[in-house]
Copies of this chain bind each other. A is one copy, B any other.
Amino acid sequence: MSGWVVVAGLGPGAEDLVTPEVRVALDQATDIVGYSPYVARIAPRSGLRLHGSDNRVELERARHALEMAAQGQRVVIVSSGDPGVFAMASALFEQLEASPGFAQTDIRILPGITAMLAAAARVGAPLGHDFCAINLSDNLKPFDLVEHRLRHAARGDFAMAFYNPRSKARPHQFARVLELLREECGPDRLIVFARAVSTPQETVQVVTLAHATPEMADMRTVVLVGNSATRRVGEWVYTPRGVTLAGEGA
Answer whether residue A211 sits at the interface, using C-beta atoms and an 8 A cutoff.
Answer: no
Find chain B residues with CB under 8 A from A112 CB. 113, 117
The interface residues of chain A, by DSSP majority, are classed as mixed
Chain A residues engaging chain B, CB cutoff 8 angstroms? 11, 14-21, 24, 58, 82-87, 89-94, 96-97, 103, 107, 109-114, 117-118, 120-122, 124-135, 139-142, 145, 148-149, 151-153, 155-158, 231, 233-234, 236, 238-245, 249
The answer to whether B21 touches A20, judged by C-beta atoms less than 8 angstroms apart, is no
A248 and B92 alpha carbons, distance in the complex (Å): 17
Give, as a whole number of angstroms, the nearest-CB distance from A59 to chain B: 9
Q: How far is the CA of A233 from the CA of B62 in the complex (A)?
A: 15
Instruction: Supply 11 further A-B pairs (C-beta < 8 A) apart from A92-B125, A152-B156.
Output: A18-B20, A19-B19, A83-B125, A84-B117, A86-B128, A90-B238, A91-B241, A97-B233, A112-B113, A113-B113, A131-B132
In the complex, A149 Cα to B118 Cα: how many Å?
25
Chain B residue with minimal CB distance to A103?
B234
Q: Complex: how many Å from CA A156 to CA B89?
A: 23
Query: In the complex, how many angstroms separate the beta carbon of A83 from the nearest chain B beta carbon?
Result: 7
